[in-house]
A and B are shown apart, each in its own frame.
Chain A
Amino acid sequence: MRMKKLTLTLVAAAVAALFAGCQATAAKQESATAPAKMSATKMAMKTAGPAPLAPLGKAPIPPDNKLTPEKVELGKLLFFDPRVGGDASTGCSTCHEPEQGWAWAEDFSRGYPGTVHWRNSQSIINSAYFPRQFWAGSASSNEKQAKSAAKGGVAGNGEDDIMEARLALIPEYRKRFKEVFGTEWPIIDDVWHAISAFERTMNTTGEHEVPLDKYLKGDKSALNEEQVRGMALFNGKAGCINCHNGELTTDLDFHNIGVPPNKRWEEDGLAQITFRFEQYAKGQTEKGYRAAKSDWGFYYRSKNKWDKGKFRTAPLRYIAYTAPYMHNGVFYTLEEVVDFYNRGGVDEEGRTTLFPKNKSPLIKPLGLTDQDKEDLVAFLEAFSGPEIMMEKPEQPPYAPLFNMAELKAAQEAK
C-alpha cells in the first residue's frame, strides 16, 4: 500500500512537469501550424495519463455570491417553491426531487405539464464543483442553470415578470429578500443567486462523505476487497479513469461514448414534439432540424460536426441514487452501464451512437470477466455515501399587498 501511494505521488509530480512542458509545445504548434484541435490540458493527459481520483475538497464559492445562512435558507425555500415557474406547479424540486437523488428517476426529466423533457435530470448534489452545468455544458454557473431551467419551455416555463410579481405578494419572501439582498422588492436575478447558494451546500462532504473519499483520505476500511479490486480495474483494465478522473471524477470534457438514441423518440408522440422543439431551441439549421434523430449534444454549442453526440463526462459521486444513467437515461442500473462499456459503447441490442465517427477512441471492448464486472459495480457503489434527505419546507403564503381602506382611499383620490 505504501508503495502504491508513493507511486501515485510520483505520477502526479510527473504530470505537473509534463503539463508545463506540453503547454509550451502546444502554444508553439498553435502559432506555427493549423489550430490545434487538442488543448494543452488534453495533451498533457494524453502524454502523462489522467489525474488520479482524489477526495472531494471544499466547494468553491464564487466571490459574487457569498454564502450566508440566511441566503441559503431563502434559497432552500425557493428551490422547493413551485411558484418559481409558469403555472405555479413546477419548481426546481419538481425535477430535482430529494427522494429521487435530487434528480428524476425516469429516462427523461418529467418536464413542464403538457410536455416531457428530452434529457435526463442531473442531480444537484455536488453541482457546486462544476464550472459548467447541463449535459452539454451550456450554463456557466449554477445561477445561469437555475434561470435557464426555470424559464425553459419544457422545464419551468416561467417568465421573469410573473415570477417576480408572485414573490412580491408573499410577505415572507419580501422580508427575507430585504434581509439578504437589501432590496425593497424581490428581484428575479437574486432568486437564482439564492437558489445557487442553497445548492452549493448540497454536497457529499462532512456527514455525507462517500466511502471512496474516506478511503482516499487514508481509511482503508472504507472499501471492501471487492471494491479495491474494482478500483484497480477502474484505474487500469476498464480505463474509466481516462475520463472519470481527478477530484471531481470527471475531466469536465465532452465525449461521444456511443450511447444510442432513446427509443422513446420512436414510440412516444409527446417526446417527438419536444425533440423537434429542442432542435429549434438549440439553434439548429433547417437541414439539421429535418435530419436530427438523436441528441447532437455538444454540437449545439460548438457547431462542429465532430462534436455531434458528445456530452460532458458525468461525475460519479452519489450515483447510487440517481438512476437512470446517461444524458438520455437509457440505462437503469450500474450493471447495464458496465456491460455497455464492456461491449465497447454498444447496448445489449447492438445499438450505438448515430455518429460512430465521433466515438471516442478510448471506448473499446474491455474483455471484463463476470467477476471484473461485479467488482467494478461494487467500486462504483463506493462513490455514494448516506442518502441526503431533507424535509421540504412549507410554502410561505400569499397575502394581499393593499387593504380595503387603502384601496378605498385611492379610489376617492382619483
Chain B
Amino acid sequence: MGVRVTTGRTLLAAVMGFGVALSAQAAEYPAIGKLPQLKINNAKAELGKRLFFDKRLSGDAAVSCATCHVPDKGYASKEAISPGYPGNGHFRNASSLINVAHKKVWNWDGRIGTNLNDMTREMLTEDYTMNMDMRIMQERMKQDPVYVQMFKDAGYGEPSNGSVRKAIPEYMKTLTSANSPFDKGKMSTSAKNGMKLFKGKAGCIQCHNGPLLTDQKAHNTGVPENFDVFLDPMNHQAFIAFTMFQGIPNYMNLKRDPGYFNITLLDEDMGKFVTPSLRELKYSAPYMHNGMIKTLADVVNFYNQGGGKDSNKSDLLKPLKLSGKEKKDLVAFLEALSGNKLTSDKHVWKQPYPAEYEAIANWTEVPN
C-alpha cells in the first residue's frame, strides 16, 4: 500500500478527491476510459453489414445474425434465452455485439480466444445457431449480383466463405459505442457518484475494468440457473448438443450451465462466465449469461447481497451494504455508459434482399 500511495495515478486521484485507500484499490486495475479508435475499411464493412442482416446465411434461410443480435437491443437478444435456429432453441442470452471487435475473448464461456473470424464461423455453422454449410453459403453469395459487385469492390475477388468471415468482423468494428455521457465527460452528478462507488465501495472495478469495463476473465457470481433451459426441450436439446460436442462429462444429467468448466474441465471452474462489458447496458436487457436478471436495479441488488449461491462463487463478492441512494447512483453510472443507439442506415442494412436467386444468364457458356 505504502508504495502505491506514491504513484502518480494515486496522487492524481487523491487530488480529485477520492479517499486514498479507495483509489489505491482502483489503481490496481486497468483504467476505465475511452475505447481506442479502430481503422475501418468501408467497402469491407459495408459488405459485412449486408451479410449480417441476410437470412440466406443460415441453413434454411430463415435466420440472420440479427435474429439474435437485435440492433434495437444493443445487438443482443431481447429474450432471456436466444431464439436459436428453427427447430431448436438456445441456452444462453446473446451478448451485445457493440464493441465486440475490442474484445480478446468471445462467448460467455470464453471458448474462442483467437479472433472474430473464428467467432463468425462458429455462429454460422453451429447447428443451434445458423446451421450453415458454408459451401452452400458461398454459392448463394455468388448467385446474387449485388454481392458479386460488393465482394469485388471490397477487394476480395469472387465471393467466398473465407471473405464472408473477414467482412463480417470488419462490420463488427463499426459497432462501437458512440457519445455516451461517460465518454463525453458529461455525466450527471448521480452518475459521477455512482462511478466513485463503482471504483470503491461497490468494488465493481475488480472485474469490470479497462475501456471495455471487463477483465475478460471468467468468474462465478452465483447467477441462478434459468430453468427454461431445461424445462423447454427446444432449449435443452441445444444445451445437450453443445455439451455433448464440447466433451463435457455426464452431459445428459447436467442441470446447470458449466460455463468456463467447458475450457478447463476443472471443477473449480464450474459455473464461471466471462465478465461482460458494461457498455450499452441501457439497451441490452435482460442481463447475465442466461438473462436471469431483468433490470440494472436488480443487477445492483444482486451484487449488493453479495451475488448468488454457489460453492464456487468468487471471493470478491461480499454483501456491499449500499444505501438506496447509492444503488440509484450506481445505476445512473451504468446508464451513463450507453451511447447512441446504432440503428440508423449507417449500421443497419435496410434495403430489401432479392426474394429469389436470379439465374446466371448463358449458364452453359460461362465458367462456374
Seen from chain A, the residues whose Cβ lies within 8 Å of a Cβ on chain B are 83, 85-89, 112-115, 153-154, 157-159, 161-162, 164-166, 168-169, 185, 265-270, 272-277, 279-281, 289-293, 398-402, 404, 406-407, 410-412, 414
Contacts and interface: CB of A to CB of B under 8 A. Distances in A.
B359 A86 contact: no
Interface in B319-368: 356-360, 363-364, 367-368
Contact of A410 (B133, B135, B256): B256
Contacts of A398: 233-234
Nearest to B359: A269
Given A168-B240, A269-B360, A293-B363, A112 B143 contact: no
Contact of A86 (B127, B135, B143): B127
Contact of A273 (B87, B88, B224, B357): B357
A157 B240 contact: no
B363 A87 contact: no
B242 to A, nearest CB: 8
A87 B233 CA distance: 14
Interface in B112-148: 127-128, 131, 133, 135-136, 139-140, 142-143
Nearest to A164: B244
A154 B137 CA distance: 11
A273 B133 CA distance: 13
Given A162-B128, A266-B364, A401-B236, A112 B59 contact: yes
A266 B135 contact: no
Nearest to A158: B127
B50 to A, nearest CB: 18
A165 B271 CA distance: 22
A265 B127 CA distance: 29
A37 to B, nearest CB: 30
29 contacts: A83-B87, A86-B59, A86-B60, A87-B86, A89-B86, A114-B61, A153-B135, A153-B136, A159-B127, A161-B242, A165-B240, A165-B241, A166-B233, A168-B240, A266-B364, A273-B139, A275-B368, A276-B139, A280-B135, A398-B233, A398-B234, A400-B231, A402-B255, A404-B227, A404-B231, A410-B225, A411-B225, A414-B271, A414-B310
B237 interface: yes
Contacts of A402: 230-231, 255
Contacts of B367: 290-291
A113 B62 contact: yes
Contacts of A272: 139, 143, 357, 359-360, 363
Most B CB contacts (10 A, CB to CB) among A269, A289, A406 go to: A269
A33 B135 CA distance: 43
Contacts of B80: none
Nearest to A408: B227
Nearest to A267: B359
B236 A169 contact: yes
Contacts of A414: 222, 256, 271, 309-312
